[in-house]
Structure formats: C-alpha cells, structure tokens
Amino acid sequence: MGSVSKVYFSRTITPEQVVKMYEALGKKLEGKVAVKVHSGEDGNQNFLRPEFFKTMVEYVNGTVVECNTAYDGERNYTDKHTKLIRKHGWNDFFVVDLMDAEGPDMELPIAHPNHLKSDIVGKNLANYDSMLVLSHFKGHPMGGYGGALKQLSIGCASTAGKVNIHSAGKYVKAEEQGIVWGDLPPQDAFLESMAEAASAVVDYFKGNMVFINVMKNLSVDCDCCAIAEDPCMADVGILASTDPIAIDRACMDLIYKSEDPGRDHFLERVQRQNGEHTIDAAAAMGFGVKEYELIEI
C-alpha cells in the first residue's frame, strides 16, 4: 500500500453509477468473483435491495455471498436464512452462496494477532479468486458504524467466527447458537478484533478486492436490526476504493463535513461505541491507510 490511497466519490446514487465507480478504479476482478452484500434482517426497512446491486453483480459475473448470524432473528440458521434471502428477492436475480451453510468452517491466519487466534469464515470462501465488497454505510448498535471493514470481518465470518470476534477470541464456538452474550470484552477489544478479522480476509485475497460503500438510508442502526430507526440524514453518495480503511475513513469524514441536521445524531451513535477505533486499529495493522485522495466524479 502507498501512503495515500485513492477514493472515488459520486453524489449520484443509481445502479448504473455503482458500475461507473467500479470502472473508475481501473481494477478488474479476475476469476470467480464473490460479491459480499448484506441480505437484510427480516423487518428491516433500510437495507439495499437486490435490484439496486443487480447491474453491478452482473457486470462482474459475480456470486452473491453471505454468512449466518450469531444472534436471534431470521438469519442465524441456514434454513431460516435461506428462506429470508428468497423472501428479500436475492434469488430472483442472483446465485446466492451462504458460505457457512455447511461446516466445517475455514480458519484464516491473522498476520498480527492480538485478540484472535484466527479468523473463522464460511468454508465456501475458498471457492473464490476475488471479492467485491458492496457495503451499505450506516450506523451500528455495537460497532458504531458499518462499512467495508465490518463487511470483511463480521460479514465474512461464520456464526462461530462472529462469536469469536464479538468475544475478542474468548468464545470460538456458538454452542448450537445458544451462546450467552453476557461476559463480553471491553469495547475496544471487540473493535480491534474486527480489524484483525478484516485483515485476514484482505490477506487471503492478496489484493484481488474492490470496495464500494453506498451512503444511502443513513440510519444509526444496522441492516441486522429487525426494528431499526429510519434514516436520520439525507443520502450522501457512493464511494469506491481498493483500500477498505481509506474508504471507511472517507465516509466518516463526509459525515463530519455534512451540514445535515441529522449529522449529530449519527455521530453520537458512532462516538458512543468508539466506532472509529476500528479504522485506527486496522491502519495500525498496515493492510491499508487512513490517508486518502478523494476524487469526485
């Protein structure tokens, strides 16, 4: 990585513009392309629908990938999650690969481990040569915000992997998804664990990755929330980069620079959870940089 990463930005938010942002990077994803999305929890009104990403997924001839969750809802078991993916229309347009539908999970090494011994991901990750990470940038109840780094870490982790990250390595099994979320680590240890897990996925793909963050439906709550607040800010735009750290930093900076009346409410959620520490921890690990050149197109 150079000392400054390029981040492309457009205020236009359309399916066609997502493709233009990808093209602006000049980075062609080769081989079998995994396209990481958020399938959306049942009842959530803010997640980005499959229709929005259809043009982009088809452009790279990608396979939409997801993993099961580690909390109660409609996405924590393969049978329920598969039904919800169908209900939300993903199967209407795409081949969808629930990467941890069947075990055993796959463990990725972490170059600079602190909390985690490894990153536990869905085993089907091994079937792909490159990855396009399509992130809906928004707030998050636990992480403060959700963007590219969260998609890489929590998003690519299997159920056991999510437990591993949330517990900062203390728990590595879901115990039939009956884990009691009681004895959680300090918040910064969780955020640092997210950075560690993200680094493992980036290392695995050896640079064959593209990140697109869509700043739309800016709620303080994640798409994993069945009951989520409505968006508190107006839509901002689309960003694209080959650096997951720089793109998340650029999104946060756009929030700070915004004069939208809902900005302070959004920032309160991020800051309450110390969300930007994930960006700092990731940068300290060296798989990207916080410094960027924002190129508006």
Judge contact between 224 and 66, C-beta under 8 A. Answer: no
pLDDT reported for residue 24 = 98
DSSP β-ladder status, 33-36 and 130-136: parallel
Tokens of 255: 């929030």
Cα–Cα distance, 73 to 244 (Å, whole number): 28
pLDDT reported for residue 23 = 98
Among candidates 150, 65, 61, 50, which has minimal Cα distance to 99? 65
pLDDT reported for residue 72 = 83
Judge contact between 206 and 250, C-beta under 8 A. Answer: no
* pLDDT tens track, the chain, 297 positions: 459 999 999 999 999 999 999 999 999 999 999 999 999 999 999 999 999 999 999 999 999 999 999 888 999 999 999 999 999 999 999 999 999 999 999 999 999 999 999 999 999 999 999 999 999 999 999 999 999 999 999 999 999 999 999 999 987 665 555 555 567 899 999 999 999 999 999 999 999 999 999 999 999 999 999 999 999 999 999 999 999 999 999 999 999 999 999 999 999 999 999 999 999 999 999 999 999 999 999
Cα 165–chain centre separation: 14
Quote the Cα angle for 72-281-170, to 5°. 45
pLDDT reported for residue 183 = 73
pLDDT reported for residue 180 = 52
Q: What pTM did the predictor assign?
A: 0.97
pLDDT reported for residue 1 = 46
Measured over the CA atoms of residue 204, residue 206, residue 208 and residue 210, the dihedral's sign is positive
Strand (E) or helix (H) holding 138: strand 138-140
pLDDT reported for residue 171 = 78
